[in-house]
Amino acid sequence: MEQLLQQKTLMISSMTKEGKPFISYAPFVKVEEKFYIYISETAEHYENLCHNKEIAVMLIEDEQTAKTIFARCRVSFNCTASLLEAEDEKIWEAFEQVQGSELLQVLKTLDFHMFELTPHTGRLVKGFGKAYNLTLKEGKWEQDQATGMGHGQGKPMGHPGRM
């Protein structure tokens, strides 16, 4: 999971005011167990995050380095998004380290705002049959093997609806 968290962007799944799903991405930093994104008011997901604070985010292994395209390593989190009125200096320092200070200085003069994403639960997939539910306990993510009826377990083989 740590390797996935070293990426510079994450995908964001949010809902529009009309209740329609929307997916996008944003540069991010992780400070302690929270994620921070710095986005423009003109970005579609900005309004979505202001309107509905419950979102999901995902980080996924690059296609070029994946052993198989069908089971790319990935981690997703259900989060609550909060617009920050003031940013902590350690968050800015983390952004400058990861994203570069020159660009951030320019963005600070524009219509960009910081959101704090607080993860509640998650799912880590390390490959076929290697899915783990994530729960944050005392500042550490605990992993429990995911079980269920996925991938045809307990169902007839073949495509649904075909015999």
**Tens digit of pLDDT at every position of the chain (163 positions):** 677 877 889 999 999 999 999 999 999 999 988 999 989 898 889 999 999 999 999 999 988 888 888 889 999 999 999 999 877 888 888 888 887 766 666 565 567 888 999 999 999 998 888 899 998 888 788 888 988 655 444 444 444 444 4
Q: Please name which of 5, 27, 25 lies closest in space to residue 14, comparing C-alpha atoms.
A: 25
How many other CB atoms are there within 10 angstroms of residue 98's CB atom? 15
Predicted pLDDT of residue 104:
63
Q: What does the block give as tokens for 54?
A: 């419950």
pTM of the model: 0.82
Around 157, how many Cα atoms within 13 Å sit in the side-chain half-sphere? 0
